[in-house]
């Protein structure tokens, strides 16, 4: 397989920790110049040191501030175009859909769909000029089967998947692919938060909750961020050129659909 990304620039969102950082590290090891993008300056400085040697940098913005996101990315574009975009952001707060306020949808749609669409519009011309573009969205298996207790997240993730599928059909002619990765239960701060929330609401210990969650996974364990990163690397590579408009589940077999 041709996994060489030398000469490519990658903008990786939510890359100060978790899956975003794992993906950034993977792309840097494949030879890409990586721009980390998140809201925590101190965490980004630490993350930057974890990348493979190369011409890497970082941008800082809160994804709830679309104007700040756009301003920062324009700074990054002063160094040249990006051929790779990883859309990734923290998930909405858990809770039943029936209890959700309209403001929760506004925040989640802004943080996910609005930011992702803005970034595509900013980066697309460079991808088209290079006849090479890779857009990978980190979403959720809820795209296939809604997850109980994640009402707002289920709704917004579905919108992201439909957006990506539509975009894939429009951009394929330019050598630009658009794909989604659907992580299951992955060892990140997000899963720790979900376990803690279930523990509190169900009156069980976190150990009990975690054990019950793992029983729903045929693999019998949570996944690791590096396992997500490996497939993100493939989708971004030259060998991934004919993979377009897909939603790839990486969940240990948990999701109950074909």
Out of 15-29, 63-77, 85-99, 186-200, least confident range: 186-200
pLDDT at 194 over 90: no
Domain assignment of residue 235, yes or no = yes
What does the pLDDT read at residue 189? 87
Q: Cα–Cα distance between 60 and 25 in angstroms, integer?
A: 18
Name the residue among 134, 147, 167 with its Cα closest to residue 238.
134
Residue 212 and residue 235 in one domain: no
Domain assignment of residue 2, yes or no = no
Residue 74 and residue 138 in one domain: yes
Domain with 122 in it: 9-186+224-250
Q: Per-residue pLDDT tens for 9-30?
A: 999 999 999 999 999 999 999 9
Tell me the CATH number at 112.
Answer: 3.40.50.720
Residue 126 and residue 57 in one domain: yes
Residue 55 and residue 169 in one domain: yes
What does the pLDDT read at residue 216? 95
Domain assignment of residue 142, yes or no = yes
What does the pLDDT read at residue 93? 86
Domain assignment of residue 258, yes or no = no
Mean pLDDT of 79-105: 95
Strand partners of residue 86: 12, 136
Residue 165 and residue 94 in one domain: yes
Q: What is the mean pLDDT of the chain?
A: 96
Number of structural domains, the chain? 2
Phi-psi region of 231 (alpha: psi -120 to 50; beta: other; left: phi over 0): alpha
Q: Per-residue pLDDT tens for 195-254?
A: 988 888 899 999 999 999 999 999 999 999 999 999 999 999 999 999 999 999 999 999
Domain assignment of residue 65, yes or no = yes
Q: Cα–Cα distance between 209 and 187 in angstroms, integer?
A: 14
Domain assignment of residue 4, yes or no = no
Q: Per-residue pLDDT tens for 161-180?
A: 999 999 999 999 999 999 99
Q: What are the residues whose beta carbons fall under 8 Å from the beta carbon of 200, sequence distance 6 or more?
A: none
Residue 243 and residue 211 in one domain: no
Residue 119 and residue 204 in one domain: no
Q: Cα–Cα distance between 155 and 93 in angstroms, integer?
A: 12
Residue 155 and residue 207 in one domain: no
Length of the chain: 258
Domain assignment of residue 204, yes or no = yes
Residue 157 and residue 228 in one domain: yes
């Amino acid at each position: 397989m041709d996994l060489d990304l030398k000469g490519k620039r990658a903008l990786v969102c939510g890359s100060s920790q978790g899956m975003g950082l794992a993906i950034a590290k993977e792309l840097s090891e494949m030879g890409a110049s990586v721009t980390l993008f998140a809201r925590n300056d101190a965490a980004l400085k630490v993350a930057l040191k974890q990348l493979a040697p190369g011409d890497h940098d970082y941008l800082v913005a809160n994804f709830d501030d679309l104007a700040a996101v756009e301003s920062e990315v324009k700074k990054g574009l002063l160094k040249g175009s990006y051929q790779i975009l990883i859309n990734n952001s923290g998930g909405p707060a858990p809770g039943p859909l029936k209890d959700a306020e309209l403001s929760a949808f506004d925040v989640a749609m802004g943080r996910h769909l609005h930011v992702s669409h803005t970034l595509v519009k900013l980066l697309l011309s460079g991808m088209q000029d290079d006849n090479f573009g890779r857009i990978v969205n980190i979403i959720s298996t809820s795209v296939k089967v809604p997850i109980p207790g994640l009402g707002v997240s289920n709704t917004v993730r579905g919108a992201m998947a439909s957006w990506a599928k539509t975009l894939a059909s429009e951009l394929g002619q330019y050598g630009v692919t658009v794909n989604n990765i659907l992580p299951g239960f992955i060892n990140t701060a997000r899963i720790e938060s979900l376990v803690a929330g279930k523990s509190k609401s169900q009156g069980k210990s976190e150990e009990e909750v975690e054990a019950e969650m793992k029983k729903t996974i045929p693999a019998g364990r949570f996944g690791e961020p590096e396992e997500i990163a490996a497939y993100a690397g493939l989708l971004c590579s030259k060998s991934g050129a004919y993979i377009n408009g897909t939603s790839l589940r990486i969940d240990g077999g948990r999701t109950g659909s074909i």
